[in-house]
Amino acid sequence: MSRRPTLSDVAREAGVSVSTASLAFSGAGPIAEQTRERVHAAAAALGYAGPNALGRQLRSGRHGVVGVVIGDKVKRSFRDPVSIQMLDGLVSTLSELRLGVMLIPGMEVDETGAMKVDPLLETSGMDVAVLIWGAHVDDPRLDVLRRRSIPVVIGEGNPSPGCSLVAIDDRRGVAELAEHLYSLGHRRVANVTLPFRMGREAGWIENPRDEDIDWTPTRNRLEALEESRLDVVATYETPASLVESGADAARHILDPARWPDPSQRPTAIVAQSDLLAAGVVLGAREVGLRVPEDVSVAGFDGVDLPWLGSDRLTTVVQPLEAKGEALGRAVDALIQGRGATEVVLPVELRVGTTTAPPPAV
């Protein structure tokens, strides 16, 4: 027989009916041990490797696949260890539920400048979609998914009716971080922010309160800092959470020409991610400032930064793997038909070696 054997071939070979053969593999019903063995022997003889996934999927109406929508091209998304650790938790959790993770790049900007949703999102089969970096306002990806009636789990913000949500308590984290700096004696700080929405450039923000911020973590962390007792004397927006962007921001913020009276210079820089903060540390050293003696630096995320050497970043640790697991549980709940859920995970301040009292004037 040249074509691949099917369950009915096996059943015929074993001299039983297909449904019995099915039971022999699934174990979903009572079956005589002897029959089971006969079926497996027949399968082995025919080189049958178990029930075909396609047949089972059509029958059950489930793909066994979760689409994970990353924000951008794989390369850009995964330069950030934050995404990766989250994905790790998600993949392990789903793997235990026998669900595969399919990677779906986010949107592309086509020749005309319009946003185009990846074709995989339009046609590919999946039981649930996870937008790990949240949804934009009027997000076309959400429209597509809604039209296809695919349930959605959103990571981090801009909750949308009918979608599950997994977020972190970043406002409280930033508030604690601000208190830590305040209690060390800092008053004037600079803020290095994540991008406000897709496709932003690096640059100063004159009045953060006037800005329309589409991306929730950016907004939460910025607002929490603004609402703290610290005086945010400068805000620099970055185009992405990257070491280079942080270094660039530090160069601008600490530029001596900007502070004719050095005593007015911010004594601490708060970066909204650890990668940015690492860049800020490098940038500060480049312009000849010591961290933390001359300027304190703090980050957000709590990822490993091997190349900072013996320095340990003061940061707000978010439970990345737990977040991935929570996303996985939210997926499971939707598949089980248990409806949309919302979770907010706690974060924790971790004081390292990059913050200290401000220099005596």
Residue 227 touches which of a second copy, DNA, none (Cβ within 5-8 Å per kind): none
CB contact at 8 A, 131 and 155: yes
Q: Output 117 or 190, the one with its CB closest to a second copy.
A: 117
Q: Output 79 or 188, the one with its CB closest to a second copy.
A: 79
* Both structure tokens of 35: 């029959």
The correct pick among 2, 34, 75, 111 for binding a second copy (CB under 8 A) is 75
Cβ-count burial 246-282 (b if 16+ within 10 Å, e if not): bbbbbbbbbeeeeeeeeeebbbbbbbbbbbbbbbbbb
Q: Output 40 or 252, the one with its CB closest to DNA.
A: 40
Q: Does 119 bind DNA (CB under 7 A)?
A: no
Task: Give the x/- contact pattern for a second copy in 176-215, rule: CB under 8 A.
Answer: ----------------------------------------
Alpha helix (H) ranges present in the chain? 7-14, 18-26, 33-46, 53-60, 74-77, 81-96, 119-123, 140-147, 170-184, 216-226, 243-254, 274-286, 320-335
Cβ 131 to a second copy shortest distance, Å:
16
The secondary structure of 238-264 as a DSSP string is: -SSS-HHHHHHHHHHHH-GGG-SSGGG
Cα–Cα distance measured from residue 312 to residue 299, given in angstroms and rounded to the nearest whole number: 11
Q: Which of residues 12-31 bind DNA (CB under 7 A)?
A: 15-20, 22-23, 25-26, 28-31
Cβ 68 to a second copy shortest distance, Å:
8
Instruction: Please state, in angstroms and as integers, the Cα–Cα distance from residue 8 to each residue in 11, 15, 51, 59, following that order.
Output: 5, 10, 10, 16
Q: Which stretch binds DNA (CB under 7 A): 6-14, 168-176, 238-246, 270-278?
A: 6-14
* Both structure tokens of 262: 């050095």
CB contact at 8 A, 112 and 344: no
Residues near DNA (CB under 7 A) = 3-4, 6-8, 15-20, 22-23, 25-26, 28-32, 34-35, 51-52, 54-56, 58-61
Residues near a second copy (CB under 8 A) = 4, 47, 49-50, 52-55, 57-58, 61, 63-65, 67, 73-75, 78-79, 81, 84-85, 87-88, 91-92, 95, 98, 100-105, 118-120, 122-125, 147-149, 242-244, 247, 278-279, 282, 286, 306-307, 309, 321
